Amino acid sequence: MRAIKVLRAEAGLTGIELGRRSGVPRETISRLEHGHYEPTAPTLQKLARALGVEVREIYLLEEQLDAPKAPARSLAGQWFRTRLGHDYLALPDHEGVRVVAAASSIDDVVAIKEAVDAERDVAKSFFEDHDPEPELRASLEMAVGKHLYWRIDLEKRRQVLRDAGETAVSSNDVRLVAAF
């Protein structure tokens, strides 16, 4: 459990010191920290008490440490976010589908459509006025190439919301097929 190692370091304790405070052998602490095995409930309670935390906090921290890290923003994503405050066209396809499916009203769909159109327009204008680095150009062109797919998916979502009268429609009620 890497969480034990993190909490031990935050407390400024060595493995030996944590072992003394908790009554858990240093070797056991080392094996736990390196993921060689899971602690028993009594061992985890001793370690939590010695670290001044609840057992639940150890598990929550472990979940955070195991959570997948968000991928770094693409060049286009950074570029759009800096200029417009959003980066819909640069989102990975699966995230784009989630954004569209999460639109719970026609107003939400219209707002996303306007943002997507703005990203396309700003990028096209930038191409006319500048000669960007090849990497940025390629990233922006790929993002702008998704514009039509966004528009199609947003129109499908708008129609679903219109047909449902915008009542009680959630992302779980709708299964959008992405055209990406």
- pLDDT, tens digit, 9 for 90 and up, residues 73-101: 688 999 999 999 999 999 988 888 889 99
Say what the pLDDT of residue 73 is. 66
Domain locations along the chain: 2-66, 75-163
pTM for the whole structure? 0.54
* Polymer length in residues for the chain: 180
Lowest mean pLDDT among 94-103, 126-135, 163-172: 163-172
Quick one: which of 16, 1, 88 has its CA closest to 50?
16
Say what the pLDDT of residue 164 is. 87
Residue 154: how many other CB atoms lie within 10 Å: 21
Asked whether residue 25 carries a pLDDT value surpassing 50, the answer given is yes
Report the pLDDT averaged over residues 18-37: 93
Report the pLDDT averaged over residues 148-158: 94
Largest CA distance in the chain: 69
CATH superfamily of this structure's domain 2-66: lambda repressor-like DNA-binding domains (1.10.260.40)
Rounded to an integer, what distance in angstroms lies between the CA atom of residue 43 and that of residue 27?
Answer: 13
Task: Tell me which residue has tokens 């009620």.
Answer: 173
